[in-house]
Structure 1
Amino acid sequence: MKETDFSKLNGSAADIQYLKELYANHEHMPYISPERDLALWLDKAAMSSGEAVPKRNMVKTPEGYLPGHMIILWRVQFGTYDNTTVISKYFEYDYGIDAKADIEDLIEDGLVMVMTAKESLTYMTAPLLKKWLKDKSVTVFSKMKKDELIEAVREAYTEEELAKKFTLRGYYLSEAGEKVLANNPAVIDKHPKKKY
């Protein structure tokens, strides 16, 4: 998982020293983006303890992941997380992780799977699916429902052809990912809920 590169932080030597002192009692140092205005954020952190990543969010699970990684897995399970999803700042500021980089690690570890182009057709709109069918001279799609359009496109195109048409790929949890998530319900219980 991505760690803070202190040499790239936007702050003075004194700021970086203060940052290290702020997190000295945490099990792991939270990730800090080089884009963060460190001096401004440290001023806020000095005024409010709520600005710092809580200690509990920097304690690894028995599987070796941080709570923020559990939140990524939790979000992926809803089927709305894909390679174009805008990553919320709370992953860095509340959970101390670089979610954009760390999802790649979760994929590499086999917890998150990347859908194929054919599997990712569910993210496409019905008008676009109809256009692609028309491009293949398939004309009996006017009364088709979206799931029927998806199936027709899957039959009309090869995986390679579809891969060239769009880059959006959905994510889903592997069996291992589901197991890791199920093993850590306390993390999810503490996370503020909203529908994803």
Structure 2
Amino acid sequence: MYDAAKKLMADEPSPHNARAESQRHIQEVIRAAGMEDQATVGQGVAAAIATIQATAQEKGARDVDTVFKDPALKDLYTRPAHDEDAHRTIARAEYTYWQQQHAKDPSPATEAAVSFDVESRVRLQRNFGRLSEAAGTFTRAFEQQQTFAQPQNLAAGYTSSPAPGQSSSSAAAPPAAPESAAPAKGKGRK
């Protein structure tokens, strides 16, 4: 994976933000279907594209957005995330695009792109989709979390650091344990 990223970085950037446009298009399709909160094939595809973009920005993207904006793929983006056939159809379309690009005008980026076959792309899309879904679940749960009536003092019970020039023996000692925490007579360790 590291070699592929290095090859992508060596190529020219897309003049029209092809990866960003691909993600935007897929997200619009999902949003139009009202499926933003559901795990879809499109979310996995968009997450995989976002990961490539985070690594290589728009370098080597050429006009890959033409693949993802193909009307024949539109309905596949809203399929359930576990739909292997939908993932495979999209992966095959993208792989075919990169094979054609590599045959016509080879570059380090096209070489990296064709090094990921259809089944590798399916696995990547699915796995990035799972990660994206998990992140969304965590975010929604965090947003719905109730605030505490009283903030917790997370530092309570810890010794304070000695002031500059003060020895650690003169720093504040930790609070004594409550009596209920002390072992009863005759029941402690000897």
Shorter-chain TM-score bucket reads under 0.3
Please report the TM-score for the alignment, with normalisation by the length of structure 1: 0.24
Bigger radius of gyration, 1 or 2? 2
TM-score, normalised with respect to structure 2:
0.24
The structure carrying a bigger helix percent of its residues is: 2
